[in-house]
Amino acid sequence: MTRQGKTWLIIGAIFVALLIARGMIGQGLGRVYVKRTQVTVTVPDTAAVNSAAVGVASASTSASTTVASAQVAAPSSATDSSTSASTSASTTVASAQATAPSITSTSSASGTTMSWQEWKQVPPLEFDAAQKVNAAQTEISLSWPRTIGLWLAAFFTLAIFSFLYADNPFYKIAESLVVGVSAAYWGVIGFWDTLVPKMLGALTPGLVKSLVQPSLVAPETLQQISMVFALILGVMMLWRLLPRGGWISAWPLAFIVGVTAGLKIVSHVESDLMAQAVATMKPLVVSVPDASGVTNMWDSWWASVANMLLVVGVICCLTYFFFSVQHKGVVGGAARVGIWYLMITFGAAFGFTVMGRIALLAARVEFLFDDWLWLIDPNHFRGL
């Protein structure tokens, strides 16, 4: 075994030993408990039931799980009779079906009542208390999927951090997984959020509405026509993949360049040139009155200094980038001051970047210490 291999083995062994030791102390570590609750929603009219049926049929493809929790937390929004309730209810059912296969539906004169189970994370102490009262209870239980997910999150966090020591197979696995999942995710997002609702939804709204997105809003005629144009441009763009006629893809590219340039030029001139130039034209001497209307010398002095620094900074930085005149004498001096301003700006940018990166590192370390190792409990979730 190589020296590096031995080092990895020792680090791994120490880490596992510490983990086992941590698991045997106090509450242990890294478990997720959930409480089962029954959610019931009543849809008042038959139209809603039909809509719900369509929603259930498409649940496997839309799978907007977050919607379920949003509706479930306030079921009254679906039960309060209004014409808009039907659409909401259909979405709720669709999402619920995607997350909980135990959905049941009963019809009555007042409408259709649907119920399903939801699992909400609870502190381990709540599980212990429930077990003491009734050891056979099933309302609160250990969630294996969420616990495995938690351990996987911790493993991949450490796998990425392990690169700081040296490149290794764990890092490679985590890196490959990130690349693969990201690529697949963006593919799915592009398909379901752009291609289906915007392109297919505009060209074949009836088909998309009945098969995959029951809540699709019908497009206007102009939108349909423009999407035909977009489809043609898209096909032309893909033409470059064919062995002949690759030049055809230059046309949609020219369209993209033209539209982007048009949008960017106007917005940049408005927001970055004109507005910024106006913001720079400030009085060099400022009078700041206090509450009684009398000029506050201290505040006035600082405001004046701030404005002077701003104006001088802009002029000197512009001078530094003005190369038509040799940087000598007054121009050279101004350019040198400009460099100082730029250096301070780069320093501030570096400081902000460091702050951002440390915040992200702190968030991951907090996750490891809190959610996984249960060393701390800043949110008082486990009652430590």
Partner 1 sequence: MSAGNFNNTNAPTRPWFERLDRIDRRWIFLLMFLAVSGPILWIGVTGKTLPEAPTLAARAVFQEIDHLPARSLVLISFDYDPASAGELQPMATSLVRQCAAKNLRMVFIALWPLGNQVAQQTIQDVIRDDYPALKEGDDFVNMGYQAGNEAVMKLLLTDFAKAFPKDSRGEATSNIPMLKDVKMVSQFPLLISISAGYPGSKEWVQYVISAKNEEMNFVTGCTGVSAPQLYPYFPQQIAGLLGAIKGAAEYESMVNASLAVDGVATAPKYLQAQRRMGPQLVAHLLMVGLIIVGNVIFFARKRRGAA
| # residues near partner 1 by CB under 8 A | 63
Which residues inside 274-293 make contact with partner 1, applying CB under 8 A? 275-276, 278-279
Q: Does 79 bind partner 1 (CB under 8 A)?
A: no
Reference 309, options 284, 339, 286, 332; nearest CA is 284
Least Å distance, CB 94 to partner 1, is 8
Return phi, psi of residue 37, to 5°: -130, 150
Q: Where are the alpha helices (DSSP H) in the chain?
A: 3-24, 46-57, 59-62, 65-73, 76-79, 85-99, 124-133, 144-161, 169-189, 201-203, 205-211, 221-238, 250-268, 275-280, 297-320, 329-367
In the complex with partner 1, the residue whose CB is nearer, 36 or 268, is 268
Whose Cβ is closer to partner 1: residue 240's or residue 364's?
A: 364
The helix (run of H) or strand (run of E) holding residue 241 is none
User: Interface with partner 1 includes 47 (CB under 8 A)?
Assistant: no
Tell me which of 92, 99, 112, 319 binds partner 1, using CB under 8 A. 92
Contact pick of 31, 146, 198, 240 for partner 1 (by CB under 8 A): 198
* 326-355 residues near partner 1, rule: CB under 8 A: 345, 348-349, 352-355
Q: Which two tokens stand for residue 366?
A: 């907090």
Our CB check for partner 1 shows the closer of 74 and 232 to be: 74
Residue 295 binding partner 1, by CB under 8 A: no
Decide if 86 contacts 51 (C-beta within 8 A): yes
Stretch near partner 1 under the rule CB under 8 A, chosen from 35-43, 84-92, 130-138, 296-304: 84-92
Nearer to partner 1, 124 or 313 (CB): 313
Contacts of 80 (CB under 8 A, 6+ apart): none
Q: Is 358 in the site for partner 1 (CB under 8 A)?
A: yes
Whether 240 contacts 246, CB under 8 Å: yes
77 binds partner 1 (CB under 8 A): yes
Our CB check for partner 1 shows the closer of 88 and 112 to be 88
To the nearest whole angstrom, how small is the minimum distance from the Cβ of residue 1 to partner 1? 21
Q: Which residues contact 376 (CB under 8 A, 6 or more apart)?
A: 366, 369, 370, 384
Identify the residue among 128, 139, 167, 270 touching partner 1 (CB under 8 A): 270
Cα–Cα distance, 179 to 176 (Å, whole number): 5
Contact of 45 with 8, CB cutoff 8 Å = no
Interface residues toward partner 1, by CB under 8 A: 64, 66-67, 69-71, 73-74, 77, 83-84, 87-88, 90-92, 164-165, 185, 189-190, 193-194, 198, 214-215, 217, 263, 267-268, 270-272, 275-276, 278-279, 345, 348-349, 352-366, 369-370, 375-380
